[in-house]
Amino acid sequence: MEKFKEKIEKGRFVLTTEVGPPKGVSLDVIFEDLEHVRGMVDAVNVTDQQSAIMRLGAVAASRALLDKGFEPICQFTCRDRNRIALQSDILSACALGIENILVMTGDHPLLGDHPQAKPVYDLDSVGLLHAVKELSNGIDLAGRKLNGAPNFCVGAVVNPGADPLEPEIIKMEKKVAEGARFFQTQAIFDFVKFKEFIGSIKHLRSKIKLLGGIVPLRSAKMARYMNANIPGVFIPDPIIDRIEKASDVAEESSAIAADILKGIRKECDGIHFMPIRANHLVAKTLDKAGIAK
């Protein structure tokens, strides 16, 4: 069976989804959620203390997903660990059989459930990508040789809706230079803004694979919250109205997501779903979009 990194290297259109480890040690809820998309997605992104909320670690959850037959993409954020701990955890992930990682800076602790926690940010996302590249070359950030080097498929994130867009493109260029092979985007709702972004990264398209981000909306309230609180995300009023007036929100949400998928597919190498504990909506979306694995 082809691995995720083999699929993107061969130019296959890939589908990924996302789960957040539990606040506790029971993984039953995420396993049940993922059964909705078993056989439909190529890999599962495992978040790392998403929204700065303390949860089970992404490395442990990723290993558990492997044991259940899902290929994980393990997130690493820079917020909570210094370069020693980050490098150690990355080596640990490799030793546990994890082959895909996604690097990001991470939300500030003030946004989470432990606002009194001290943020670390010893490295930013570009610095952590550099660390991964060095580890893959057999040395750590102190220049010491490793006894065996990891070999990851390395990803990063980008926000097509950033305003202004130019600093986001500059940072993306730095991430590519440090070895990012695929990018997951922030949620896409505005096709005009997305096309502007695609036009701005033409010089990078031959070097990376782009996975367009889709968030299946669970309510009009959720949509308004995202507009108010997530930078670079704008959900147009007509979409919010469709959700608000729907007699069956799940059906309407998956129909909207399918429309977005069809609208961005030609510009992407894959789709990354961020369903927020609602992978049944991912399954409905893929069905409505006529995509089957």
Segments making up each domain of the chain, as ranges: 4-216+265-277
CATH 3.20.20.220 fits 4-216+265-277, yes or no: yes
What is the per-residue pLDDT across 156-209, written as a single tens digit (0 to 9) for each?
A: 999 999 999 999 999 999 999 999 999 999 999 999 999 999 999 999 999 999
DSSP lists the bridge partners of residue 74 as 46, 101
Encode pLDDT of 25-35 as tens digits: 999 999 999 99
How buried is residue 168: exposed, middle or buried, by Cβ count under 10 Å (0-12/13-18/19+)? buried
Distance CA 42, CA 34 (A): 12
Above pLDDT 70, what percent of the chain?
Answer: 99
The pTM assigned to this predicted structure is 0.95
What's the Rg (C-alpha) of the chain? 18
